[in-house]
Amino acid sequence: MYSTLSNYQTMYFKTNSMKNNILIKIWAFAMSIVFFALISCEKDDMKTLATQLESWNAEEITSTSVELSGFVVAQGSGITEQGVCWSIGTEPTIDDANKVADDIDGSVYWVTVSGLEHFTAYNYRAYALDANGSPLYGEVKEFKTLAHLSTVTIADAPSVITDVTATIPCDVPYDGKADVTAKGVCYSTESNPTLDNEVLVSGEGMGEYNAELTGLKANTTYYVKAYSTNSVGTSFSKEITFSTPIGVATVNTVSAQAQATSATVEGEITYDGGAAVTERGVVYGTEENPTIEDTKVVYDGSESEFSVDLDGLEISTTYHARAYAINSEGVAYGEDLTFSTYPTALYMVGDGVSDWSWNIEIKMQAVHSHPELFWRIVWMNETGGFKMNSDRAWDGGEFGKTGDAVDGVYEKGGDNVPVPGTAGYYMVVVDLSKNTVEVTDVKLYGIGNAFGGAWAANDPNYLFTIDNTNEVIRFNGVPDNGDLRMHVAASTLNCDWWQAEVNIDPATNEIVYREGGGDPAAFPLISGDDIVMNFKTGLATIE
């Protein structure tokens, strides 16, 4: 009984004499034993006596309130008031004015303390007033309120609205005494948006922020709430609504593919601006960023993806093109794409192949149905370089390479193309669609009836031999009787074999090329004939 009794403390009553005080203490001590015996069997969870208070239930501590209980062990000459007083950081007294009194209807009492600060530690203790109005106090204890939801506000309307964006001022003026880990807005085209809808996170912590909404739809009503999240949970502001206006459309210029005197340009409308697109097409010109005031081609259709053909263009000319779309708000343009129409001819010049004077004509061969491709088998000197141009002139249109070759392929640029370093025959291929210049070994093949009757391209059994000593390219002993057919090949010469065909004019023995024409004249061969091609002179012989 005595060890149990040490868990309790007795509320002592003050008197004016030492003798009376001692007697009261003895009497209170005896009465506490009697009271404890009486109540221990009836209420085992009652752990507080007159001078000791605890929260009756810790779960009832909130961010602004708490329930506390007290127990009066002995009333002595009578208690006129009982309750709880509390304070922050000091020993509480009833003079602090922070107190709650309870009705005197029993030894055990409960009080509810409210209006407290969030996430704050408080000192508290029981008190009682004796018949003389003197205060008696229990042991000082502590409790701590919980954090609270943060407070978030939103402006009545966005500060800026376009057809696809909105800027909305918001504020977190109070964090609920817990770190705000996220703040922003949630929005939807339906009322009462939540975090399950579109969410824009605008940062963390207290303070003002602007929610910058992007990717909105024009001519559309949106519902928005600001939100803030701390360890307690997520709070929301009031809901506001706004409508985006109609805007211009969004259009992309997808591609531009040139020919010699024509081009095909593709466009795509990705967004109508919230209004019907009444016209779409392509504008073009030789100056950057053409408009509908320049030359335009209207697309006759309503598809979002479209292409138009540009005809009557100048050869070897650089053009600018943009897709466009028109709705009630105005004209929208896509990106400015440049393309160059292809020349009808290319010429080589330089000390690696002749000299830099353009006096000697070294014309490259066009590829049938591929105006972007040109090739040439040419004798190269041991040293030097070369360039190309569509005209035999230094008019600014000349080009060479830039950077180093990768597997013999250069990017088109303004530097001279170097020769390989060993004199002999080489093949040059220019792809104007990919802007590449290739310098490679010659690959000349026989094909057709005189070569086994097979029509498979690049057959290694019918590959011509390079004889740089005699400055010729030859094939010794054709296997069959038949008409002569030959073709060249290279890694960047992306065409069918017949589009890069070579032959011999049977009347003049000149080396001829298919280029844009039909089948070359038949040159009859007899089994065992040797074919000798001299690309320096442009003549061939059959031996």
Q: For the segment 6-18, what is each residue's pLDDT rounded down to a tens digit?
A: 222 223 222 233 3
Give the three-class secondary structure for 306.
Answer: strand
Per the CB < 8 A criterion, the answer to whether 246 and 329 are in contact is yes
Give the pLDDT score at 405.
97
Q: How far is CA 437 from the centre of its chain?
A: 35
DSSP state of 416: P
Give the pLDDT score at 417.
98
Q: Report how far residue 249's alpha carbon sits from residue 275's, in angstroms, rounded to the nearest whole number.
A: 8
CA atoms within 13 A on the CB side of 529: 19
CATH number assigned to the domain with residue range 2-144, chosen from the 4 options 3.10.200.10, 2.40.50.140, 2.60.40.10, 3.30.428.10: 2.60.40.10
Q: Report how far residue 191's alpha carbon sits from residue 199's, in angstroms, rounded to the nearest whole number.
A: 14
Map out the domains of the chain as residue ranges.
2-144, 151-243, 250-340, 347-440, 444-542
CATH architecture, domain 250-340? Sandwich (2.60)
Q: Report how far residue 437's alpha carbon sits from residue 415's, in angstroms, rounded to the nearest whole number.
A: 12
Cβ atoms < 10 Å from Cβ of 533: 24
Give the pLDDT score at 73.
58
- Report which of 231, 225, 237, 241 is spatially closest to residue 182, judged by C-alpha positions: 231
Can you spell out the DSSP letters for 327-369?
ETTEEEE---EEEEPPPS--EEESTTTS-SSS-S--BPEEETT
- Report which of 150, 148, 149, 156 is spatially closest to residue 238, judged by C-alpha positions: 156
- Report which of 365, 376, 379, 382 is spatially closest to residue 418, judged by C-alpha positions: 382
For strand 370-380 and strand 141-144, is the pairing parallel, antiparallel, or unpaired?
unpaired
Q: H-type helices in 354-505, by residue range? A: none
Burial of 22 (0-12, 13-18, 19+ CB in 10 A): exposed
Give the pLDDT score at 23.
34
In tens digits, the chain (543 residues) has pLDDT values of 222 222 222 232 222 333 233 333 333 433 443 344 333 333 333 333 333 334 343 358 899 899 887 666 555 557 788 888 899 988 999 987 789 887 776 667 778 889 999 999 999 888 888 888 888 888 888 999 999 999 999 999 999 999 999 999 999 999 999 999 999 999 999 999 999 999 999 999 999 999 999 999 999 999 999 999 999 999 999 999 999 999 999 999 999 999 899 999 999 999 999 999 999 999 999 999 999 999 999 999 999 999 999 999 999 899 999 999 999 999 999 999 999 999 999 999 999 999 999 999 999 999 999 999 999 999 999 999 999 999 999 999 999 999 999 999 999 999 999 999 999 999 999 999 999 999 999 999 999 999 999 899 999 999 999 999 999 999 999 999 999 999 999 999 999 999 999 999 999 999 999 998 998 888 999 999 999 999 999 999 999
Per the CB < 8 A criterion, the answer to whether 411 and 381 are in contact is no
Q: For the segment 322-335, what is each residue's pLDDT rounded down to a tens digit?
A: 999 999 999 999 99
Q: Report how far residue 97's alpha carbon sits from residue 542's, in angstroms, rounded to the nearest whole number.
A: 124
- Report which of 508, 512, 425 is spatially closest to residue 472, judged by C-alpha positions: 425
Domain 347-440, classified CATH 2.60.40.3620, yes or no: yes
Q: Which CATH class, in words, describes the domain spanning 444-542?
A: mainly beta
Q: How far is CA 39 from the centre of its chain?
A: 71
Q: Which CATH class, in words, describes the domain spanning 151-243?
A: mainly beta
Placement of tokens 């070759």 in the chain: 405
Q: For the segment 436-494, what is each residue's pLDDT rounded down to a tens digit?
A: 999 999 999 999 999 999 899 999 999 999 999 999 999 999 999 999 999 999 999 99
Q: Two tokens at 484?
A: 């002569």
Q: Report how far residue 15's alpha carbon sits from residue 262's, in angstroms, rounded to the nearest whole number.
A: 116
Q: Two tokens at 105?
A: 């209807």
Per the CB < 8 A criterion, the answer to whether 17 and 105 are in contact is no
Look up residue 252 and give its amino acid. Answer: N
Q: Report how far residue 428's alpha carbon sits from residue 491's, in angstroms, rounded to the nearest whole number.
A: 11
- 3-state SS record for 386-403: EEEECCCCCCCCCEEEEE
Per the CB < 8 A criterion, the answer to whether 427 and 419 are in contact is no
Q: Report how far residue 237's alpha carbon sits from residue 311's, in angstroms, rounded to the nearest whole number.
A: 60
